[in-house]
Structures are given as C-alpha cells and as structure tokens.
A and B are shown apart, each in its own frame.
Chain A
Amino acid sequence: QKEVEQDPGPLSVPEGAIVSLNCTYSNSAFQYFMWYRQYSRKGPELLMYTYSSGNKEDGRFTAQVDKSSKYISLFIRDSQPSDSATYLCAMTPNQAGTALIFGKGTTLSVSS
C-alpha cells in the first residue's frame, strides 16, 4: 500500500461547480498536510497547509483533514477555468530529516 493515495483523474467540471479533491494516507505519524497547484510546465504552488485535524478556509478554497480516517480533502467553490491544473496533496510528520510525501496529483479541467 502506497503511503499516499490520490486519484489521478482527470476530473472535468463546468464553471461554477464545487470541486472535491481527496487523498488518503496510511502513516498515522503525518502531522502537516498541504495542497499544491501545478499548472502545466510550471513548478508547484502552495495553496493551503493544515496542521493536524480540522478545516482551513482561504477564499474559494477549503482544506479539511480527518486524521481519524486518514483522509484529507480540498474543496474549490465556484470553480473557474483558471483553476484547471494538477492538484497535489503532500504531507509530512513533524520530524526533522523526513521527506515531504506527495500524492500522484489529480488533473482538474474546468470548462466555461
């Protein structure tokens, strides 16, 4: 079983839709959870990060972490064509010298 599982998609939605992106993980030591957005041929851009369980909201984006289920989500409200990108979840334990573990990324396409 991979440490982080993420459905690669592709996921296609119409403009204005609510998008739900998810990752599951197996390592209960993970404490920090991040979502990155990567446009084609560009570097990943940090969107959200959350420590431990709970919700965090930033504009149209909401990140949720459920440590009991080992499940994290990113919701995008009122999706726009400019949201079309690959979304990578990433996580790490709160320990020095440990790597950031990425999911495979979900490719999202928002049509106008």
Chain B
Amino acid sequence: DTEVTQTPKHLVMGMTNKKSLKCEQHMGHRAMYWYKQKAKKPPELMFVYSYEKLSINESVPSRFSPECPNSSLLNLHLHALQPEDSALYLCASSQGVVRETQYFGPGTRLLVL
C-alpha cells in the first residue's frame, strides 16, 4: 500500500481564519514533506520532516506552521494567509532521508479569499 491521505480535499478560508491541513501515511516512512503547487507549475518544496523533526524549511513565511505529532501524521497550520497563498497543497512521504522515491497524497485545494 503506497497511500498518502490528505484532508480536507478542498478548503476555503478568509485572511483572518486559522485552519489546518492534515496528512497521514501508514507505510512506515520516516520522512514527510509539504509542497505547494500553483496551476501549471511543478510542486515547490516547503518543509521536510525527518524522524519527526523539522529538517528543512525552504524560507516559508511564518503564516505556515508545520507540525509532526508522530511518524504517521503531518499537519500544516494556516493563519492570516494571503490570496496569493491559494494553491494545491501536497503532502508526500518517503522511506528515509534519502528522498529518492516520494509518494504524494491527492492534495488539498486551498482558496484564500
């Protein structure tokens, strides 16, 4: 089973709202990722968690706050977002820190009004 699940599938939020995106995998992978993807663009890496510790933050604004409660779960907390943050947010996981095969979830389509 190579499934990564993400909830919700769609999210509409105002600029003053606080919301969270959730990601789950049960493949025993120890690395998990958040990506942002705009229309007709490739995914852009935001954060990497390795063994439940944040190992990479690609200079993402603080209005995005990741959290890894355990090895199977990854959250992305959103606060005071801007309309330009509207995008598809993808979660991925891989076996370990050498990220040669990442498996992606279906994504959460976020619209910020």
A and B interact: yes
A71 within 8 A of B: no
Main secondary structure, interface of B, reads loop
B105 surroundings in chain A (CB, below 8 A): 43
Let me know if A88 is at the binding interface, CB within 8 A: yes
A19-42 vs B, Cβ < 8 Å mask (1 yes, 0 no)? 000000000000110101000011
Majority secondary structure, A binding face: loop
For B45, the closest partner residue in chain A by CB is A99
Q: Are A49 and B98 in contact (CB under 8 A)?
A: no
CB distance from B75 to the nearest CB of A (A): 17
The answer to whether B100 has its CB under 8 Å from any CB of chain A is: yes
Q: Are B100 and A34 in contact (CB under 8 A)?
A: yes
Which of A8, A41, A49, A102 lies in contact with B100, CB distance below 8 A? A49
B76, chain A: closest CB distance, angstroms: 15
Bound Cα distance A51, B100 (Å): 9
Contact assessment for B106 and A42 in the assembled complex, using a CB-CB cutoff below 8 Å: yes
Q: Does A95 contact B (CB under 8 A)?
A: yes
Number of residues on chain B facing chain A (CB within 8 A):
27
Q: How many A-B residue contacts, CB cutoff 8 Å? A: 65
Chain B residues, CB < 8 A from A34: 100-102
Write the A31-73 contact mask toward B (1 if CB under 8 angstroms, else 0): 1101010000111111001010000000000000000000000
A100 at the interface (CB under 8 A from B): yes
Chain A: CB-nearest residue to B58? A99
Binding site for A on B (CB under 8 A): 2, 4, 6, 40-43, 45, 48, 50, 55-56, 58, 88, 90, 97-107, 109
What are some 6 contacts across the A-B interface (CB < 8 A)?
Answer: A34-B100, A46-B102, A46-B103, A94-B98, A95-B98, A99-B56
8 cross-chain pairs, A with B, having the tightest CB-CB distances, nearest first:
A102-B42, A32-B100, A43-B104, A96-B97, A43-B106, A43-B107, A44-B104, A99-B45
Contacts A95-B98, A96-B98 known; 16 new A-B pairs at CB < 8 A: A36-B104, A43-B4, A43-B88, A43-B105, A43-B106, A46-B102, A88-B42, A96-B50, A97-B97, A99-B45, A99-B58, A99-B99, A100-B102, A103-B42, A104-B41, A105-B42
